[in-house]
Structure 1
Amino acid sequence: MVRLAQFSADCFVSAAIALVAEAGPSAASIPAIARRVGAPTGSLYHRFPSKAAVLAAAWAEVHGDFTAALVPPLFEGRARDAAMTLVDWSRARPLRARFLLLNDFGALVDGAPVPDDLRAEIARQEDVLDRAFLSLAGGHASAAEAAALRFRVFDAPVAALRPHLIGRGPIPEFVDDLVSGLFDNGRDALQGQAA
């Protein structure tokens, strides 16, 4: 008789996301992740070689979801929509937003080795996001213009979201107004596209 695995890799990834989102990276120890799932620690090690591997898998999943949401408006030259997508994505996925936007991948894995396939997937996602942003900025943007656009699309929206993510409360509607207001000068992107 074939014995089916009771605990999937996805269960451990979801538990790691929740633990980091709720209490920070130090809360996502191997025993805590296993306990969250209700699994023996050995079950987790059967699917992941290390804590860094399960956290990297969690990062790849959440960052991949984030990238998939943000890339279309970036490639389409819609800066305001990209910034608002970041807010909407965070509002719809508060646990994932706290996991991704309040942490840094390097600090999350704390310099521990990450399996090559996961490192390659995360690098691929970052490359897609970078290419989408460069497409939005256009080839003729100066470094200062590109930095200003990155601030409006990424940095300022994350700063507006941060206190609400830290406080674990709902993201209030005024955040939409703050983020949308970054584009009220009538220029959606550096090319002067309509908002």
Structure 2
Amino acid sequence: MGRPAKFTEDDFLDAALEELAEHGTVSIAAIAGRLGAPNGSVYHRFSSRDRLLATMWIRSIRRFQHGFLAALARDPIDAALHSLRWSRENPTEARALLLYRREDLIARWPDELGPGLESLNTAVQSALATYAVTRYGPDDPDAERRVVLALVDIPRAALLRDLRAGSPPAPSLDEMVTAAATAVLG
């Protein structure tokens, strides 16, 4: 019987986020040092730095999506504003989401990151499709496109410039995203 693990996967991922926040980069040695763990314990859980960052990315996406789905259940404009609010509350995770695209991770680690990566966006896509049909009816061929533009594409475009600059989304964006999303939703 082996020793119980001293650090959880989340401990390593949180340390990586802290490194990213403080230094703008992440190394295995820095993560291990932050936790007071040997480098080998990081490699025991993650085969590489990139694999650790990919796992951190997936965890961040799931956290974001959880809040987005809750916001969409309350109000569509709340869902549109969720991206901005979440990015302000979780600036390091928001910037970490700029590291990868889901398609890149699927191509690089199709088996290691698990089947959940293939279906990572399924719940959000389903919720958006359901909302589109509920709001516009089943016969509107542009309903889902309109909803995705209003609730996903506009907020993402609004916050990207600030995130890439290392800044939280400007508060003034809330009003602009609300106006744009409301106009697109009609």
Q: TM-score range by the shorter chain?
A: 0.7 to 0.9
Q: Tell whether 2:116 aligns with 1:121.
A: yes
Q: Tell whether 2:137 aligns with 1:136.
A: no
Could you list the runs of 5+ residues in structure 1 that have no partner in the other structure?
none
Aligned-pair CA distance for 1:181: 0.8
User: Per the alignment, do residues 75 and 110 of structure 1 end up closer, same or farther by CA in structure 2, a change over 3 Å counting?
Assistant: closer
1:164-183 correspondence runs (5 A): 164-183=162-181
Partner of 2:79: 82
Partner of 1:112: 108
Confirm or deny: 8 A CA contact 1:87 1:157 kept in the other structure. yes
1:154-193 correspondence runs (5 A): 154-185=152-183, 189=185
Could you list the runs of 5+ residues in structure 2 that have no partner in the other structure?
none
Aligned-pair CA distance for 1:126: 1.2
Aligned residue-pair number: 181
Aligned-pair CA distance for 1:111: 4.2
Query: In percent, how many aligned pairs have the same letter?
Result: 31
Query: What's the TM-score once normalised by structure 1's chain length?
Result: 0.74
User: Per the alignment, do residues 104 and 167 of structure 1 end up closer, same or farther by CA in structure 2, a change over 3 Å counting?
Assistant: same
Q: Deviations over 1:8-61 (max 9, x none)?
A: 32222123345566777xx44544543554433211122223344423321221
User: Per the alignment, do residues 132 and 22 of structure 1 end up closer, same or farther by CA in structure 2, a change over 3 Å counting?
Assistant: farther
Partner of 1:13: 13
Confirm or deny: 8 A CA contact 1:52 1:114 kept in the other structure. no
User: Whole-Å Cα distance in 2 between the matches of residues 60 and 34 of structure 1?
Assistant: 21
Confirm or deny: 8 A CA contact 2:154 2:181 kept in the other structure. no
Please state whether the residue corresponding to 1:141 is helix, strand or coil.
Answer: coil
User: Whole-Å Cα distance in 2 between the matches of residues 141 and 102 of structure 1?
Assistant: 35
Partner of 2:94: 97
Aligned-pair CA distance for 1:122: 3.2
Please state whether the residue corresponding to 2:118 is helix, strand or coil.
Answer: helix
Q: Deviations over 1:115-151 (max 9, x none)?
A: 55x4323334311111111112113331x44223212
Q: Deviations over 1:65-108 (max 9, x none)?
A: 111101133355x321110112111111111111125642344x
RMSD over aligned Cα, in angstroms? 3.0
Aligned partner of 1:140: which letter? D
User: Whole-Å Cα distance in 2 between the matches of residues 35 and 141 of structure 1?
Assistant: 56
Aligned partner of 2:179: which letter? G
User: Whole-Å Cα distance in 1 between the matches of residues 159 and 72 of structure 2?
Assistant: 20
User: Whole-Å Cα distance in 1 between the matches of residues 30 and 120 of structure 2?
Assistant: 28
User: Whole-Å Cα distance in 1 between the matches of residues 71 and 139 of structure 2?
Assistant: 19
Please state whether the residue corresponding to 2:162 is helix, strand or coil.
Answer: helix
